[in-house]
Structure 1
């Protein structure tokens, strides 16, 4: 750490959103292979509030260890302030965005953040910093699940559960760019126009109708952003040979799924500047867009987390950091 300081939102004790404290802290310096980014905006993601609560939603034996105090946040958009030794692809003044060092440490809720150079991509010209900060984790999750793991090609039917949320609204769009024959979105009724406008061919309002009551063995791929103990309710909607991609862990009755010829994946998003560059090109080409539910000041990080935990978010929440 150098002698310069910055403002950040840090967690000093695990618990409710009020544990996020806006305070002045030492400014980091770029190490070898790293870039120091002047953060203009930071995305708010579920792992941020899981970490704030001490990962209480994860079985104790599997919980990551986080030392207190810590700065949450892995999604950033900003301007390169300086580069560490060995970095040749970036220079001061470049506008960049990225999912920084994930899975691993998080430190994006701050005026400055360091990042491995390879985890950054050039910010799309068509996006402002707030929009760009809303992209990395959610869009990379959708992209890696559909392209890297499922290898989704033309044809077939894709069902996205939680289609209006961060990952979900990107999954709907990316399924279309990959040539899916039909995309079905599941969300609450107030999101119907939004999800259809993203490219969904059919919408199911789960508050009125259970998907398994209206879809019968017609889905090839389920992107389930909700998971939970009732995830298995979707088994009847999948064709034999169908695939489930859980974004959040769920109970899918593995023996029953196997008997039905249904496979269940288990993947986690990872940082990739190269893949973000591919997504950036899709934004600049007008083939992807990002929805923002709300923007909060860095000093309002606690309020942003409180809003996040209310659920029913359309798109993403973002922290505004720099003018």
Structure 2
């Protein structure tokens, strides 16, 4: 049985991905389910997080967003039966790759997959859906009538976040980093999103957002990275990111800033501005559901709702063409280096 694995060097930055043989799964026990994998999505491997949790090993399994068919269930499993179709996310401490033919996974990491949803769509949407729910519902408590700014809305995560915010009755603004991104956002659905084109350097993010909100500011901001300071030798991609001061400036009174920047540093003037607005800053870490079992029921509810919205057409993910297993190493290298704009899914 083959799977995709990451070989870590001493620096933990230089990584190599290989397809190698692995042992067949052991016998099914207790609450575990044996699943035959049909599709597995690829996401960047966070080696720093694994090191912080003492989960870093010389060989790390890759591919955790899976969709497949239940082959066998343990004696204490209550949610599933053989031949049912499921989708889920393998835990951080999983011993096997999601690209193996068969995997053992605890039933609390899986939800049913509707028949009308394809394997590729299910595996390719589940993580971005969980991230969007975490950002908009858990961290920022979105309500109808809010104004939401999703930075880089044409990314796989941004696309789902835009669609979820619109579905909840919010007015959605989003930035486009190139003409292709702008076309993608404008074609999602009529009037879904107001696109701010940042590719030509003519649009000012703060001015555009304040103009759209009548000077009141944006209620919720979901970033895709920020600039902590400005330097002359910044790369082009870095220059397209907003400065942290810009985001604070465009926030409304009582606004919520959900950031993906784990090393965010706020100076005293920044904190003072947030204090005067009564605004909050939250860190988006979608792995928190797998790091604690305190809210396992809420996590399962979120995953189930994501798949239901995918089935009903609310979510239309940004997916690339399915990739065969023999191209998995090349695809994963591109994903790890963030050289792809669409979600890559391996079809088995």
TM-score > 0.5, shorter chain as reference: yes
Aligned partners of 1:114, 1:123: CA distance in 2, in Å?
Answer: 17
Q: Decide which of 126, 148, 155 is 1:158's aligned counterpart.
A: 148
Give the CA deviation at 1:40: 0.9
Contact residue 158 and residue 219 of structure 1 kept, 8 A = yes
Give the CA deviation at 1:27: 1.7
Aligned to 1:186: 175
Aligned to 1:123: 113
Unmatched segments (≥5 aa) in structure 1: 1-5
Contact residue 160 and residue 222 of structure 1 kept, 8 A = yes
* RMSD of aligned Cα (Å): 2.5
Aligned partners of 2:258, 2:218: CA distance in 1, in Å?
Answer: 13
Farther off after superposition, 255-264 or 141-150: 255-264
Aligned to 2:235: none
Label 1:218 to 1:64 Cα distance change in 2 as closer, same or farther (>3 A). Answer: farther
Paired residues, what number?
A: 306
Please list, as runs of the form range in 1=range in 2, the aligned pairs for 1:244-323 lying within 5 A after superposition.
244-249=257-262, 251=264, 253=266, 255-260=268-273, 261=277, 262-269=279-286, 270=289, 272-309=299-336, 311=338, 313-320=340-347, 322=348
TM value normalised by structure 2: 0.79
Aligned partners of 1:312, 1:226: CA distance in 2, in Å?
Answer: 16
Give the CA deviation at 1:95: 0.7
TM value normalised by structure 1: 0.85
Please list, as runs of the form range in 1=range in 2, the aligned pairs for 1:166-177 lying within 5 A after superposition.
166-177=156-167
Give the CA deviation at 1:227: 4.0
Aligned to 1:91: 81
Contact residue 126 and residue 306 of structure 2 kept, 8 A = no
Label 1:82 to 1:23 Cα distance change in 2 as closer, same or farther (>3 A). Answer: same
Contact residue 8 and residue 14 of structure 2 kept, 8 A = no
Aligned to 2:35: 37
Aligned partners of 1:146, 1:185: CA distance in 2, in Å?
Answer: 15
Aligned partners of 1:125, 1:256: CA distance in 2, in Å?
Answer: 53
Aligned partners of 1:198, 1:129: CA distance in 2, in Å?
Answer: 22
Aligned to 1:196: 186
